[in-house]
Amino acid sequence: MSSRPRALVTGAGIRLGRAMAVALAQDGFDLVLHYRSSQGPVQVTERMCAAHGAQVQIVQGDLSRVEDCSKVAEAAGVVDLLVNSAALYKAVPIEDITPQQWEQMQAVNTRAPFLLTQALLPGLRASKQPGGGCVVMLGDIGGQRPSPGYTHYSVSKAGLLMLTQALALELAPKVRVNAINPGTVLAPEYLSQEALTEIRDSIPAQRFGSPDDIVGALRYLVGAQYVTGQSINVDGGRSVGGPMEAG
């Protein structure tokens, strides 16, 4: 049996989920990798993590479904760290948002992190890691400053930030709960070069973020034994300067 600590990373097949999972493998964690539909990509993540000595388990689930949240948690078993990375992100004009779209956005972005944390509590509370069990939410600066066309998304991420604080208060001192709020990291592919340039020029740091920027915040929060209930904006200063257009 492995003596390495164990982490569940949701949405681990692509983008930031993959980057964080691989970084945790480098840092000595065994991994449970969740995916919804990116089966091929999550297998790539699996190989990347295994190359760093991690024991890796893959579990599929649609986190908009309560029963799938239970299935993922049951498959993960005992973990020391939960990284809630999976999310829905889609622009819909407010007059076109259907009740079903609203519910799905809240279910994946807010309810699923709650249900997974709740289901995994026994292991998180029993963790022998320095600082105890740890939960890291992947929020968004859009949960603090909304963008036009993303009402249901912004509300879901605002809820996630409040969930972070509420869980941190209730689960202390055995479990720490924090959030990372990315700005423009891995910009959406549908944006034109003109739109990308406009967004970049509005960012005080004058650049887009990289997965390494998010990984750095994750590593800090995993090791920061006296930090809980906090949200770290990793956005190059975008949340304090410039217009909040989508991207």
* φ, ψ (nearest 5 deg) of residue 174: -85, -20
Four-CA torsion 161, 166, 169, 175, nearest 10 degrees:
-70
Concerning whether 150 is annotated as a catalytic residue, the answer is: no
30 to 25, 115, 121, 144, 180: CA distances (angstroms): 6, 22, 18, 33, 22
72 to 2, 64, 92, 110, 119: CA distances (angstroms): 21, 12, 29, 16, 10
Q: Looking up tokens 């760093």, which residue turns up? A: 52
CA distance 72 to 70: 6
Distance between first and last Cα of the chain:
44
24 to 36, 43, 75, 123: CA distances (angstroms): 21, 16, 19, 18
Which residue among the candidates 89, 153, 190, 220 is catalytic per the annotation? 153
Spatial CB neighbours of 112, under 8 Å, sequence gap ≥ 6: 10, 63, 64, 69, 84, 86
Query: Which residue from 158, 130, 128 is spatially nearest to 143, judged by alpha carbons?
Result: 158
Provide the annotated active-site residues: 153
